[in-house]
Amino acid sequence: MTLMTRPPLNRRLAAFGTTIFAEMSALAARTGSINLGQGFPDTDGPEEIREAAVRALREGRGNQYPPGPGVPELRTAIADHQLRRYGMAFDPDTEVLVTAGATEAIAASLLALLEPGDEVIALEPYYDSYAACVAMAGGVRVPVTLRPHEGRYVLDLDELRAAVTDRTRLILLNTPHNPTGTVVTREELAAVAALAVERDLLVVTDEVYEHLVFDDATHVPIATLPGMRERTVTIGSAGKTFSFTGWKVGWITAPPELTAAVRSAKQFLTYVSSGPFQYAVAEALRLPDSYFEGLRADLSAKRDLLSDGLAEAGFEVFRPAGTYFVTTDIRPFGESDGFAFCRALPERCGVVAIPNAVFYDDREQGAPFVRFAFCKKESVLQEAVSRLKGL
């Protein structure tokens, strides 16, 4: 047998290894630590929405392959949500596509829209699936790094402009931004939009944290800006908004040609998924404003609890305007290697966090930064804070 004369994993993926979340969650389990690494809530979403899923399952809705684009009830609910929230009208039949979470929406968009060699500009640090999906599509990623400035991570518009070449096909945006918690402002988005129009670029925008913005921050979908609706694929997900990350119901809204293109790739990935959950998410999207306000108030209080606690424990804290993550700088402890810090943290104080370096191409740039999730019960966050204060 000569099977192993060549490594089984292809070159496009070999660089990526196993995600850090698996390593850190295993470390949390092994050491009995509080896991503030991976971003999943430790409380399930609304009871009535769980019941809606049970009902759909019992009534035989969605137990067999749902329609390829998603069940009509959910596509209509997604279109209504975009209209109610942002004043954007989408045709549920031609401009909405349901996916297996935002993860598949990202993969299908990149696989559909890129030719090998096309360049993709992504905000760095970036969500870990972006780089892998760009690679699987044969694209070339071009990071534009968000840098800390006066307590907030900001996008340098000159750097963004300089990153565009004749080979640039699309800008992959993410706002509210994981892991930094930055909410890209309307002014910044206007500059991104102007650039996209000027250079005829597509924009794929990951807005899974659209409902998790705090204080006076507002989430602006870039598709609402002039000239953008026709060139933008907007990605949403029920996972983060309704605290059902295991259901894997996501979607895109985009003009008909882009939606059809993404559907072409999506049909050969999962084809369809999450049948009964699609009906439940249709109901979730129609929850009254009080649900969304309650979610925001709850997470805003948790952000304060964890951010203040981390600051008291000695971290430099970048107080997030959105998402459920807080990024910190460990240099006040005299340390600058986030990997080493996170690997040692469970032994030192029984808490698990994620080194932001994994979200960078140039790991040096992200070395001193560490991310903590606050989508956990208040008692859990309080215990984590008291442990961290022992550092």
Ligand X SMILES: *Cc1c(COP(=O)(O)O)cnc(C)c1O
Residues that bind ligand X (CB under 6 A): 101-103, 127, 174, 178, 206, 208, 237, 239-240, 245, 248, 250
Nearer to ligand X, 28 or 354 (CB): 354
Nearer to ligand X, 250 or 366 (CB): 250
**Minimum distance, C-beta of residue 217 to ligand X, in the bound complex (Å):** 16
**Minimum distance, C-beta of residue 363 to ligand X, in the bound complex (Å):** 19
Nearer to ligand X, 315 or 325 (CB): 325
Closest residue to ligand X, judged by C-beta, is 101
Strands 96-100 and 249-253: antiparallel
Helix (H) or strand (E) holding 96: strand 96-100
Contacts of 23 (CB under 8 A, 6+ apart): none
Closest C-alpha to 27, from 337, 335, 382, 345? 345
Nearer to ligand X, 184 or 208 (CB): 208
What is the distance between the alpha carbons of residues 160 and 143, in angstroms, rounded to a whole number? Answer: 9
**Minimum distance, C-beta of residue 259 to ligand X, in the bound complex (Å):** 18
Nearer to ligand X, 245 or 327 (CB): 245
Nearer to ligand X, 82 or 174 (CB): 174
Nearer to ligand X, 33 or 245 (CB): 245
**Minimum distance, C-beta of residue 104 to ligand X, in the bound complex (Å):** 7
**Minimum distance, C-beta of residue 389 to ligand X, in the bound complex (Å):** 28
**Minimum distance, C-beta of residue 76 to ligand X, in the bound complex (Å):** 20
Is the distance from CB of 343 to CB of 356 less than 8 angstroms?
no
Q: Which residues in 308-344 are b (16+ Cβ under 10 Å) and which e?
A: ebbeebebbbbbbbbbbbbbbbbeeeeeeebbebbee
What is the distance between the alpha carbons of residues 170 and 121, in angstroms, rounded to a whole number? Answer: 6
What is the distance between the alpha carbons of residues 106 and 266, in angstroms, rounded to a whole number? Answer: 10
Closest C-alpha to 206, from 362, 340, 102? 102
Stated length of the chain: 391
**Minimum distance, C-beta of residue 106 to ligand X, in the bound complex (Å):** 6
Is the distance from CB of 349 to CB of 391 less than 8 angstroms?
yes
**Minimum distance, C-beta of residue 391 to ligand X, in the bound complex (Å):** 27
Give the tokens for residue 162. 């300089």
Tell me, rounded to whole angstroms, the distance of Cα 366 from its chain centroid: 18
Nearer to ligand X, 146 or 313 (CB): 146
**Minimum distance, C-beta of residue 244 to ligand X, in the bound complex (Å):** 9
What are φ and ψ of residue 327, in 5° steps?
-95, 140
Give the tokens for residue 45. 């979403």
Closest C-alpha to 185, from 160, 207, 218, 209? 218
Angle between helix axes 378-388 and 289-313 (nearest 10 degrees) is 10
Strands 316-318 and 351-352: unpaired
Nearer to ligand X, 161 or 296 (CB): 296
Nearer to ligand X, 208 or 367 (CB): 208
* DSSP reduced 3-state for 72: helix
Residue matched to tokens 């001193």: 368
**Minimum distance, C-beta of residue 103 to ligand X, in the bound complex (Å):** 3
Contacts of 22 (CB under 8 A, 6+ apart): none
